[in-house]
Structures are given as C-alpha cells and as structure tokens.
Amino acid sequence: MGKKQDVITELYKICEKRKDFVFGNELVKTVCKKYKFGNPFDVTALSHTSKLPDILKSNDCFISHKGKGNHAFIKGISIAYHKFETIPISRTWQYRKSLLEEFDTSESNVISYAINQGILFDFLYDDVNRKPFVYYSQRFKSDLDFRIGRAKITANQVRFKSALILEDNGVVTIIGGKKGLPQDFAVNQFYYPFSYFCKLKNESNLDVKQINCCYVLRGQKEGNSTITVFLYTFENEDNMASIQLLKSTQYHISKR
C-alpha cells in the first residue's frame, strides 16, 4: 500500500474501534502526520476503486463527504463507484496536428484535446461547429441533501469542482476527463455538481431542460490514441445511485 492507503486504513480502524464512522479533518491531519503524508486534503479523494485500500474493499465501504470538514465511511462500494460500460460504437477520427497537446497530461488537457479535435461537440451535438456557452474550471460550495441508495446524506457546505460546464439550448453538461482507461469512477464527482444545478434550477426557476454529465477518457498505446466519451444523467435527482448511461462512443485517432 501507499501512504495514502495507510492513512485511510488507520482512519477506518480508529472509527471501527470507537463505533462511530464519521471523522473530521483534524483527525485526518493527525494520522497524515503519523504516516508523513503531505497532503491531508487529498486523503478522501478516491476517484477509482483501484485506489481504495484493502480494508475498505473487504468491508464494502467508501468515503462520503458530509461537508464542513467532516467525512464518513459508508457501506456500498458498488453504488458509490460506477463501472464504465462496454462501448457499442467505434469510429475513426482524423487527427488535426497540434504543437502543444503532448506537453500536459492533466484532466483539463484531455478535455482540451477532445474539444480541439472536434470530438466532444461531435459526440454531444452531432455538430463540430456548435458554439455552446462555455464555463471553465468552476468551484462550488453548497448544502446538499440526497440519498446513496438507502443511505440518507446531509452535506453542509460541501466543496466540489468541475473542470468544464457547457450549456446549449437549456441543456447543461458537466464535463470531466482522465488520461488512461480506468475501469470505473467515483459517482460523486458528477453527482455533486449535478445536484447543485438541479437545486439552482428549482430555486431560481431556470428553464433548464436537461442536466447531464460527460466523461472523456484519453487512451494511448504504442503510438495509437483513442478518445472514449460517455454521457450520463441521474434518473432521480435526489439519489446518487440512480446514474444511467445515455450514450457512449470511442474515437480512434488517425494521424495519416
């Protein structure tokens, strides 16, 4: 295990011993100091099940944010993480030469690549020339009340972010991206901003027709590159476990 997994394991054992599975940032900082892990704010960010320590997997637990610096271990890994579906549609896409794209491996670069090559707008709108309203790298803080399956969660002033948000004719799309081809992803990275915009729509009476979430993955192997895109929404606004796939496509990038 890495230091991050060591910290989480220790946190779980402490919570298990005291029979209270809610813990705060002060305890996280204390345990981080013990294991010499330098970024306590990163401890509870587990974007894929591959990053979960064995103790969470064996107890079928994940970490949920409760806001105001508090977190909780909750049962149900399978509802907190969503496995990427098998891709039914595969396309070849002509590459447009870029000078700068290989110098950054960040999430935002993956999304930029999909936009610059025309792939994202082709996938979302069937129109590479579409010009939606664009909102870059947003950070939010909000009170959220929702369910994860049967578990009821009250998150007070929980903080979250989104790499990119698009709005086109009343359709709001939350964009996330990752380099590589993970097997699954943490649903809350989409559900928190989804829930926020649902709340904004209802409280401000906005004419929002649909809120959806788009995950962009960039795979590279032996000089070949793919962009795989998934579009999701949530069937029930108040339940994080209600995620459902709308469509998906894999684009094989041709540089010839």
- pLDDT tens per residue across span 85-102: 999 889 999 998 888 877
Q: Give the model's pLDDT for residue 122.
A: 98
Q: Give the model's pLDDT for residue 97.
A: 85
Q: For residue 243, which of 83, 57, 59, 49 has the smallest C-alpha distance?
A: 83
Place of tokens 């002509």: 94
Average pLDDT, the chain: 93
Give the chain's radius of gyration (CA, Å).
Answer: 19
Instruction: Provide the whole-model pTM.
Output: 0.92
Q: Give the model's pLDDT for residue 107.
A: 78
- pLDDT tens per residue across span 74-84: 999 999 999 99
Instruction: Report strand pairing: 61-67 vs 70-75.
Output: antiparallel
CB 194 within 8 A of CB 236: no
- pLDDT tens per residue across span 48-72: 999 999 999 999 999 999 888 899 9
CB count, 10 Å around CB of 195? 24
pLDDT at 222 over 90: no
pLDDT at 1 over 70: no
Percent share of the chain, pLDDT over 70: 98
239 DSSP β-pair partners: 147
pLDDT at 165 over 70: yes
- pLDDT tens per residue across span 166-212: 999 999 999 999 998 899 999 999 999 999 999 999 999 999 999 99
